[in-house]
Structure 1
Amino acid sequence: MDTVLGLHTANDVWKKLKTTYSPSATPTTTTTSNKENRLLYGAILNGDWEKAREFFNEKDAWTAKINDDNESPLHVAIGTCKNIEFLENLLKEIDRESLPKLVTNRKLNVLHRAALVGNTKAAEMLVEKNPLLLFIVDNQKYLPIHRAIFGSHENTFLYLLDATKQHIRVISQQDGYQSPFEGVNSVVLLTNVIAEGLLDVAYELIKEYPYMARTKKGNSTALKAIAKLDAYYSGTRYNFYQRFIYSYVLKENNIDNAYEIQDIESQDPDKAKFVANCSRSCFHSVVRMIHVKFLKVALLHVPHIKHLHEEKVKHNKVVMVLKCICEEVGKIDEVGDHICEHYHEAMTLALENDIPEAIEEIITSFPEAIWTKHNDYYLTQFAIINRCEKVYNFLVHDHEVVIDKHLHKVRIDKDGNNLLHLAGHLAPIAKLNLVSGAALQMQRELQWFEQVKKFVLHRHNRTKNKNQETPIMVFRREHKDLRKEGEEWMKKTADSYTITAALIITIVFAAAITVPGGNDGNTGKAIFANKSSFIIFAVSDAISLFASTTSLLLFLSILTARYRDEDFLYRLPKRLILGLAMLFLSVTSMMVAFSATLYIMFGQEKKWILIPIAALTCLPIASFVTLQLPLLVDLISSTYGHGIFGKQSDHGRIK
């Protein structure tokens, strides 16, 4: 009765009875009542050492199992207690040899628990008392260092890594202990280090234990992990200013990195070479007149420049690690399927994530990888179907790496579709949603179709597939619904702007025939005709009238358009761009005309009135710019900008 007292459900009662009285229960396991367990938990959680000692009347009580997961007080203290002194006192009472025996139902030892919760201080104390804990696996064959990297506890992981390297030569050779740098353990460790973005650590591990890059665990390989990492330059979206800073300002030699290289060169030549190679591509051939001191100050005190520099170093590091892994995989003695298993999955992931840097390096290291197939499609076919523009640009435009490009032009799939047929299929929804608005989505699809048309053979424009459809027929069928949505979006947008433009025309026309101050009764000439403010009013009002009228006509032309598929490429977006620009000009000039009128009527000999008038005039103009300019910018960028098919930049590559 004392054993189950306080339990609230029958399930808890039977579980407790089974744990306590089952014949399979360990006879030496010391159990306490549920009430005592709760009190002990509270003492451990609060770090109350004196109160916790009251529950340890016997020596075995220090290693007792105090919950259903068979956790010891030390497990609970490591996971919940914030009082380091409490943990130190508890460790003093436990023998060194007893620590490996303290395991939970999942065979997690106390160092596993410290790694799981990221308790670095506890890990230090445990390793100092018994380093054997570093090399004991749990029921899933994972070591404490694995648990630390699984939980993204970087500090704990780095400590365990250093401790493992320090003790591995002696302990890991003993029976029953495993090394994290051998076998499947090494694959798990390296792939998770890469996934966490610890590229420096990954590089060091590959240099110290090269076979880690050549080992597989099922489909898991280091090459696969680095190929899908979101740390390449191609995955960034910089604006013009950021690209300028990234490309030019950050090319001088980085003094800070130079000092770092000098500091570590004597300790680790390989790491020094790695850092030097990563930094060398970041700073070269910049405006030489800028003093190096200025660059150093900028890197230290200008946050966005420092951030861009750090990102560029990261981009180069990931390519360096990729190169290193490819070199090691290339050393595998076996040929054929064994090496193919390494790069095939990596190529597939790089293709799906649209990472041309990974594709380039893998093809450079393994030329046969250019013929990799995914879902029965070759690289170029898959890139077109899934709208992977960066990979497509690389495969089509990079003549130095991609060989037999003309063979890819004539590839036909099982349904008789050539590349232009595939471009006619509707893009995946995830790719469509990268662009807002059905009209711009339709324009992007047309851009893809026209770009692929330039690449394929001319006769493929009229080639029919097994369904007797030409590429343009496929495009129209696949994009029928999107074209309708684009038409509705265009008409609703143009209709709203048409109303606005008509209102402006009405206002500014009325203002033009009823000038401020009135007219001279004898001559009919405006009374304030010679005032500079009146001239500003007249000019601004005229500009607003002409601009709004032009805008109205442009929006009307959109409403009356035929909405053919090809109209979404240039004709309709161009009219909307010009209409928006004219509307913005008319709104701005209308507010200037109104401000001039206020000044004419109330501001004579009162110069101070210009300040509130100017401030209030900026309010509607700023509102219009804030709300409507993004759409105008998107339209201009999509129609006349650099586009998604420009030549790929080399910023993310190590030369």
Structure 2
Amino acid sequence: MEKAVGVSKPEMNAFAEMKDSYEKVLRNDAQGLQAIYQNNRDALFNQITACKDTVFHIAAYKGNEEVLQVLVKMVPPAKKHELLKMKNIYGNTILHEVATSANVKAAELIIKELLQSGNEIREQEEILADRNKLGETPLFRAAEYGNKEMVMHFADEIKRVGNVQNHYKYTRNDGLSILHIAVVGQHFETAMWLLNQKQELATLLDKNGKTSLHLLASMATAFKSSTPPTRLLKEIIYYCLPSNPCNEDESNELQPNLQNKDLEQGQASKDRLQSDRSKGSKLSCAIWGCLAKGWKMIDRIWNQKKMHVSALKLAKMLIIADASWFHEPHEPEEPDTICLERKEEEEAKDQSPEPDTPLFVAAKSGIVEIVKEILAHYPQLIEHINRRGRNILHVAILHRKNRVYRFVKDMEEAKRLVRGIDNDGCSILHHAADTKYYQGGTKQTPALKLQQEMQWFEDVKSEVPSHFTMHRNKKNITADQLFKDMHQEQLKTAQEWVKNTSTSCSTVAVLVATVVFAAAYTAPGGFMSDGRPILLEKPMYSFFTVMDVAGLASSLTSVVIFLSILTSSLEFEDFLNNLPRNLSLGFTFLFFSVTTTMLTFTATILLLIHLQKTWTASLTYAAAFLPVCVFALFQFPLYYEYFVAAVKSILEYMRNNLPGNWEFLRIKDDY
């Protein structure tokens, strides 16, 4: 027999009261809460949620001043200290909860009415330093949720009762500092303010030995260079939006106090120039601000740009203060010379779990801005080698960060890095052949994806000494062998796609050829007794003849091209230049044949029915071009990619074979 759960009437009333209080505080119903607690003020300290929150916890979280004002007035003076020490299941006090809100005035109200009233300075300091179960103080929690004004307010309150510098040094139970947590939440404005208050925050390490710069260098989406490309309209809007903060005071406040400025010469002219720029910036901000309110896309793009600008500013500040690279350098296990033969497969030694430097973390993430700033301040770091014996070129190439690779390889200091051999015996060419971090490339079709991979490999090969192509790693494999082994599945997929596409296009081209061939022997209007077309003298008949011949010629040419593709070997070498060029030509002739066929049909209609009205003729033209437009709409992106690939291969051929310097013909591509 099951035991019934009995609930007394007073308990039922208490549950009902908790529900009523909870609903009213969520709705910010100040009058309703006053009615509940006016005659039962002891109930203010009751828990109303499963997480042991009081009504004050929820009200502080909501940040509604009116509700807090009503509730605070009902707290007996003798219990204000007790209220501030009450914690929920997470160990959060009322101050922890209000720190997560965006309303600084709500925090001011709680601090003034509850903290400062009836508590000694020592007690106030203890309450402000109270930690939750994660080890967070209210100041720490405000930084975690990214409200800079709230952080500043709590910092001022701590200064009033104690030493705020000690609070900046606090770390959570998981080892994260207040600066770490601000960076993790991508609250870069808050992080810059904190860094200006205490520069030593930049050198603090978490439990994994990482500084705040390590964390920032791993945030690819926080920087423009590693953000995926967007449509042209969005790119134009992005570059037109103001880069600097619209709040002039905020802009000045966030400037790092690490550099001394010359205030003696030309100060008056500087002030005038800055004033003019400020006026123009404010006007631009006002215009874009109005547009952003009514156009959500602009608002999203602007927020993204603000994040990019703030992240770069923070990176510059952290780079100056960070010293994580001043450790004992790693020595490579392999000399920078080639090995033509390995007796047996060798394994690299296990390495300690030491984190990479921010330079290498940024290179892995593809953040060119951080790489540039680090090498600008510490150019000697380009020679740095990590625990696996890899330099920055190894890292950038292995992780397919093309922009970082291009930036570094063009530096004069990096010329000898191309000869580096890591602890696995791999050169940069081996890493270019590796698909460990390959994410599918930027092209649409399997054939172009494989071509892109081959272009990437050939691009890196052109930078290394020619004899390095014979070098074998510790698995006794050359870079060429590794490339073919890693791309066998991709080759099979590309071969199958090319065969299916060529077969389908050949079928369409044959059908077009059949139609236009038949049209050539069935002239519009018929023939006279001597065999001449009746409408031969009409101007439109000449147009009909030209389009019919052009359609037949282009369709048959397309058939020949696609048949040649089907009979080719379709090996790796074919996908580099020949195959994309032939596919581009085949698509061009096929598209042209479809267009001319529809023009032939249009000419036939106009010759036969002799349209007199302009609008009927226009309607006929539109109907005739509808299939062409639909075909172009769906096939143009594919055709465009193959056309560009064909142009690149032609320009590359000219660059490599014509006398003189033709480097300007090189078209850079993102791999």
Contact 2:169/2:177 (<8 A) preserved: no
Partner of 1:378 in structure 2? 391
What is the Cα deviation at residue 615 of structure 1?
2.2
Separation of aligned partners in 2, 1:648 and 1:321: 30
Return the alpha-carbon distance in structure 1 between the equivalents of residues 444 and 392 of structure 2. Answer: 28
Q: Which residue is 2:215 aligned to?
A: 225
Deviation at 1:571, TM superposition (A): 0.8
Are 1:140 and 2:134 counterparts? yes
Aligned to 1:425: 434
* 1:62 maps to which of 44, 48, 54: 44
* Matching of residue 391 in structure 1 with residue 404 in structure 2: yes
Alpha-carbon shift at residue 556 of structure 1 (Å): 1.1
User: Cα distance, 1:124 vs. partner?
Assistant: 4.7
Identify which of 391, 400, 420 aligns with 1:411: 420
Alignment of 1:3-22 (within 5 A): 5-6=6-7
Structure 1 position 434, deviation (Å): 4.3
Task: Give 2:541's aligned residue.
Answer: 534
2:315 is aligned to: 322
1:222–1:579 distance in 2 versus 1, CA, 3 Å: same
Residue 509 of structure 1 is matched in structure 2 by 517
Tell me if the contact between 1:221 and 1:342 (Cα under 8 Å) persists in the aligned partners: no
Instruction: Decide which moves more: 535-544 or 548-557.
Output: 535-544
1:484 is aligned to 2:465: no
1:216 correspondence with 2:205? yes
Change (3 A) 1:329 1:264: closer
Going from structure 1 to structure 2, the CA distance change for 1:208 and 1:79 (only over 3 Å counts) comes to closer
Q: Secondary structure at the match of 2:496?
A: helix
- Counterpart CA distance in 2 for 1:206 and 1:442 is 47
**Cα distance change on mapping 1:647 and 1:618 into 2, 3 Å:** closer
Aligned position for 2:620 = 613
Which residue is equivalent to 2:195?
Answer: 206
Deviations 1:430-465 (A, max 9, x none): x22544332222112211221121111111222344
Kept in 2, the 8 Å contact 1:6–1:35? The answer is no
| Identity value in percent | 25
SS of residue in 2 equivalent to 1:111: helix
Q: Report the Cα distance in structure 1 between the residues aligned to 2:192 and 2:373, rounded to whole angstroms.
A: 16
**C-alpha contact 1:343 1:362 (8 A) present in aligned 2:** no
Conserved? CA contact 2:385–2:392, under 8 Å = yes
Residue 148 of structure 1: how far off its partner (Å): 4.5
Q: Secondary structure at the match of 2:43?
A: helix
CA contact (8 A) 1:228 1:350 kept: yes
Equivalent pair of 2:547/2:600 in contact (CA under 8 Å) = yes
SS of the residue corresponding to residue 168 of structure 2 reads coil
* 1:114 correspondence with 2:98: yes
Q: What whole-Å deviation, never above 9, does each CA across 1:82-127 have from its counterpart, x for those lacking one?
A: 9764443112112443442221132201232234465666445324
Q: Which residue does the alignment assign to 1:281?
A: none
Query: Are residues 639 and 300 of structure 1, via their aligned partners in 2, closer, same or farther at CA, if it must alter by over 3 Å?
Result: farther
Alpha-carbon distance in 2 for matches of 1:208, 1:361: 22
SS at match of 1:450: helix
Aligned-pair CA distance for 1:65: 2.7
**Amino acid across the alignment from 1:193:** A
Are the aligned partners of 1:43 and 1:49 in contact in 2 as well (CA < 8 Å)?
no
How far did 1:178 drift?
8.3
Query: Is 1:525–2:538 an aligned residue pair?
Result: no
Match of 1:171 in 2: 161
Residue 327 of structure 2 corresponds to residue 336 of structure 1: yes
Deviations 1:516-567 (CA, angstroms, capped at 9, x unpaired): 1122223x22222232322322222222222211111111111111012111
Aligned to 1:104, what secondary structure does the other structure show?
A: coil
Aligned-partner SS, 2:471: coil
**2:87 corresponding residue in structure 1:** 103
Cα distance between partner residues in 1 of 2:214 and 2:282: 42
Partner of 1:234: 225
CA–CA separation in structure 2 for the residues paired with 1:294 and 1:546:
60
Residues 444 and 638, structure 2, Cα contact 8 Å, conserved in 1: no
Q: Is the 8 A contact 1:495 1:555 kept in 2?
A: yes
Q: Quick check: 1:181 aligned with 2:171? A: no
Higher mean alpha-carbon deviation, 204-213 vs 489-498, is at 204-213
Q: 1:647 to 1:516 in 2, by over 3 A?
A: closer
CA contact (8 A) 1:487 1:563 kept: yes
CA shift, 1:237, in A, is 4.8
Structure 1 counterpart of 2:85, which letter? K
1:26 equivalent in structure 2 = none
Give CA deviations for 1:30-55 in whole Å, capped at 9, x if unaligned: x9844543344345445374477446
Structure 2 distance, partners of 1:51, 1:369, is 64
User: For the residues of structure 2 that align with 1:298 and 1:104, how far apart are their CA atoms?
Assistant: 46
Deviation digits for residues 415-435 of structure 1 (CA, Å, limit 9, x no counterpart): 433332333333534x22544
| Inter-CA distance 336–465: structure 2 relative to 1 (3 Å threshold) | closer
Query: C-alpha deviations, 1:194-228, integer Å up to 9, x for none?
Result: 44444444333323332222322333422113212
The residue type paired with residue 356 of structure 1 is: V
Give the aligned partner of residue 283 of structure 1. Answer: none
Structure 2 residue identity aligned to 1:138 = N
In structure 1, what is the equivalent of residue 338 of structure 2? Answer: none
Indicate which of 549, 561, 564 corresponds to 2:556: 549
Q: Return the letter of the residue paired with 1:160.
A: M
- In the TM superposition, residue 570 of structure 1 has moved relative to its aligned partner by 0.8
Equivalent residues of 1:426, 1:478 under 8 A apart: yes
Query: Does the Cα contact within 8 Å between 1:40 and 1:55 map onto a contact in 2?
Result: no
More off after superposition, 503-512 vs 200-209: 200-209
Partner of 1:357: 369
CA contact (8 A) 2:30 2:67 kept: yes
- Cα deviation, residue 630, structure 1: 1.3
Partner of 1:500: 508
Distance 1:305 1:38 in 2: 42
Equivalent pairs counted in the alignment come to: 587
Cα pair 1:224 1:342 within 8 Å, conserved: no
For structure 1, which segment, 89-98 or 111-120, has the greater mean C-alpha deviation from structure 2 after superposition?
111-120
**Relative to structure 1, is the Cα distance of residues 150 and 167 closer, same or farther in structure 2, using a 3 angstrom cutoff?**
closer
Rounded to whole Å, the distance in 2 between the matches of 1:198 and 1:184 is: 18
Contact 2:202–2:212 (8 Å) recurs in 1: yes
Instruction: Decide whether the 8 Å contact of 1:223 with 1:343 is kept in 2.
Output: no
**Match for residue 471 of structure 2?**
463
Secondary structure in structure 1 of the residue aligned to 2:500: helix
Q: TM-score, normalised by structure 2?
A: 0.75
Q: Per-residue displacement from partner, 1:237-267 (whole Å, max 9, x unpaired)?
A: 55795699599x869xx7x969965x778x7
Residue number in structure 2 paired with 1:581: 588
TM-superposed deviation, 1:234: 1.5
Give the TM-score normalised by the residue count of structure 1.
Answer: 0.77
User: Which residue identity does 1:344 align to in structure 2?
Assistant: D
The amino acid across from 1:158 in the alignment is K
Structure 1 unaligned runs (5+)? Answer: 8-19, 21-30, 277-290, 650-655
1:191 aligned residue: 180
Q: Which one of the candidate residues 565, 575, 585 is aligned to 1:568?
A: 575
Q: In the alignment, which residue of structure 2 is the partner of 1:88?
A: 69
List runs of 5+ in structure 2 lacking aligned partners.
117-123, 262-279, 330-352, 653-665
TM-aligned CA distance change 1:531 to 1:541, over 3 Å: same
Q: Give the partner amino acid of 1:380.
A: L
Equivalent residues of 2:38, 2:74 under 8 A apart: no
